[in-house]
Amino acid sequence: MADASLKFLIDADHGQFYVQDLEPYDAWMAEHAMDPDLPPAGWTDEAVHVHRIGVEPHSISIGTARDDMVESLITVHATAPMTEPTAEHIVEADLDADRPTRRVQPRSSPGGRAGHDRSRWAVAGPGLLRSL
């Protein structure tokens, strides 16, 4: 698979947005949403203060520098990408890709979608998300 990119503008309400594979994520949440041992949206202390990225099954929460509209670029790589020497902060996380085609969608905090585009972003095969 060639690298695929999605550039979008999203409302980072509460300083975060999510990239989720909605169908399996919703199924996982139906069973685990009220589990007191799981941090909401994967926001552990280390995720908040060090990585600025929270991880749950089928969902990645991306922390932003502000509560506002933010321009974002997500690239899915078929193999591990080279490190960007000018990046100030690099975090990597995988989305489970057990189906041949994934339907991944960026979402803002209260459940809004990226911009006004209601389409989903199709990603073939497993991929590595890099947030710069």
Domain ranges of the chain: 4-131
> Per-residue pLDDT tens for 41-53?
999 999 999 888 8
Give the residue from 100, 121, 43 showing the smallest Cα distance to 129: 121
Structure-model confidence comparison of residues 88 and 15, the more confident one: 15
Range 38-42 contact pairs with CB under 8 angstroms and sequence separation of 24 or more: 41/16
Give the residue from 13, 5, 23 showing the smallest Cα distance to 107: 13
77 within 8 A of 3, measured Cβ to Cβ: yes
> Per-residue pLDDT tens for 78-97?
777 777 788 777 777 776 55
Give the residue from 87, 110, 88, 89 showing the smallest Cα distance to 15: 110
Structure-model confidence comparison of residues 101 and 37, the more confident one: 37
pTM exceeding 0.75: no
- Largest CA-CA distance found in the chain, in angstroms, rounded: 41
Output the CA–CA distances (angstroms, integers) from residue 119 to 9, 42, 50, 105, in the order listed.
14, 25, 32, 8
CA 77, 81, 84, 89 dihedral sign is: positive
How confident is the model over 104-121, as a mean pLDDT? 51
What is 4-131's CATH number?
A: 2.60.34
